[in-house]
Amino acid sequence: MGCTAVSDGGSASCAIVVTYEGRTYQDIGAVDVPVETTGELGRATHPPCNDTGGEEDDEESWESPAYAVKGVDPTVAIAVGGSPEDATLVAVDEVEDLPAEVRELLDGS
């Protein structure tokens, strides 16, 4: 996870950010989008997140399963979570415009 600032002046909260095979993926706000996975790819690394606002960061990075998403190239987006049923869609953070296959998932097409 990585940290993002809260616009209302509150404390920071952790956003989903992971690395997998040298690429960085982030949450695209699609938490409620059902994701059909096609199998486990390996392990994704979640960087530490200090969401308490303190100077020290006691957390360490951790890993979770990374899953392939049906119809989506894993170099563009994957799903991460404890199980395929609970996995969250994340996309490569370098993608300015989401590819058609990811937009279709978000649109429910």
Q: Which segments of 1-76 are extended strands (E)? A: 2-4, 13-15, 17-20, 23-27, 37-46, 62-69
Rounded Cα distance, 7 and 67, in Å: 32
Enter the pTM of the model.
Answer: 0.74
Q: How do residues 25-69 score in pLDDT, each as one tens digit?
A: 998 875 567 789 999 999 999 988 765 555 555 578 899 999 999
Task: State what percent of residues in the chain have pLDDT above 70.
Answer: 71
> 30: which 2 tokens?
């699609």
Rounded Cα distance, 83 and 77, in Å: 17
Q: Which pLDDT band holds residue 8 (cuts at 50, 70, 90)?
A: very low
Average pLDDT on 21-27 reads 93
> Which secondary-structure segment (H or E) carries 102?
helix 100-107
